[in-house]
A = this chain, B = another copy of it.
Amino acid sequence: MEESIHDFEKPSLTADIVIFTIEGGELKVLLVKRNISPFKGGWAFPGGFVRIDESLEDAAKRELEEEAGVRDVYLEQLFSFGEPKRDPRGRVVTVAYMALVNSEGIELKAATDVSDAKWFSIKDVPSLAFDHKEILEYSLKRLKWKFEYTTVAFSLLPKKFAISEVQKIYEMVFNKSFDKRNFSKKIISLGILKEEGLRKNVSHRPPMLYSLKKNVGDIVEII
C-alpha cells in the first residue's frame, strides 16, 4: 500500500543563497547577521522559508531581491542539505543556491541595503551559523568547476570588460596565476567575445573592452 501525503510529519523547507561578487579585487560573499536565536548574532547566508505556492527557484529569487536587492542575476541550485540536526529549532531542510552578481549590480545593492548584511572576502569569512560552512565549501567547489567548464565567470563582470579583468577573477577563484599571453590567447580563441572599443579615461595604455556574445552556449571548456 502506497504511503499517503498525510502520513508523515513534514520538515520545514528553506532556500539559502551564496551570493558571490567581486569587489576591490577580491571574491566576496554576502552574509547576514542573525538577530534571533539560534545563532543569534552569528553570520549566515541569506535565506528563508519556501512559501507553499512558490517554486524553489522563486524562493531563491525572492530572497535575492529582499536581502541583496538584486534581480536578473546568474542563479543556480547547488545542493539540498538535510541532516536532521542541522537546525536546533527542528527539522529544516535547505535548498542551497549560488548567485553571481557583477560589480555593477553591487552598487545598486549598496543603496538598497537596509538589513545588517555585509560582504566578506572569501579569505576572511567568520564562523558561520548552522551548517553554512559546509554550504560555503560546496559552493566554492562548484564555482571552480563552473569556471573551468562554462562561461559563468562573465556574470561576475560588468557588460564590458578587459581581458585582464577576466584573468584576475580566474586567478582569484583558482588561487594561482596564469600567463598573460596564454590566457588571452585562450579566451579570445574561444570566439565568445565581441570587441567593444577602447576603455576611456585611464592614465595608461587603454585596454580593448569586450562583451560576451549573445547566445553563447553554457558549456565551453575555458581553462
> Is A35 an interface position by the 8 A CB rule?
yes
Contacts of A196 in B (CB 8 A): none
* Oligomer: number of copies: 2
With A77-B80, A80-B77, A82-B56 in contact, do A12 and B5 touch (Cβ < 8 Å)? yes
Could you tell me if B8 and A12 are in contact, using CB atoms closer than 8 angstroms? yes
Q: Measured between C-beta atoms, what is the minimum distance from A86 to chain B in Å?
A: 9
Whole-angstrom distance between the alpha carbons of A35 and B89 in the complex?
37
Out of B2, B49, B79, B81, name the residue touching A34 (CB < 8 Å). Answer: B2
Interface-lining segment among A21-29, A90-98, A178-186: A90-98
Whole-angstrom distance between the alpha carbons of A35 and B13 in the complex?
28
Contacts of A81 in B (CB 8 A): 56
Contacts of A87 in B (CB 8 A): 5
> Is A207 an interface position by the 8 A CB rule?
no
Out of B11, B51, B53, B90, name the residue touching A50 (CB < 8 Å). Answer: B11
With A10-B12, A11-B10, A93-B13 in contact, do A54 and B5 touch (Cβ < 8 Å)? no
Q: Dominant SS at the A interface?
A: loop
23 contacts between A and B (CB under 8 A): A2-B34, A2-B35, A3-B48, A5-B49, A5-B87, A5-B90, A5-B92, A8-B49, A8-B50, A8-B52, A10-B12, A10-B13, A10-B52, A53-B84, A53-B91, A54-B84, A55-B84, A56-B80, A56-B81, A56-B82, A57-B82, A77-B80, A80-B80
Most chain B CB inside 10 Å of its own CB: which residue of A10, A34, A84 = A10
Could you tell me if B52 and A80 are in contact, using CB atoms closer than 8 angstroms? no
What band does the interface of chain A fall in when counting residues whose beta carbon is under 8 Å from B? 35 or more
Whole-angstrom distance between the alpha carbons of A10 and B14 in the complex?
10
Interface residues of A (CB under 8 A from B): 1-3, 5, 7-13, 34-36, 48-57, 77, 79-84, 87, 89-93, 95
Could you tell me if A83 and B55 are in contact, using CB atoms closer than 8 angstroms? yes
- Chain B, residue nearest A82 (CB): B56
Contacts of A80 in B (CB 8 A): 56, 77, 80, 95
Whole-angstrom distance between the alpha carbons of A12 and B7 in the complex?
10
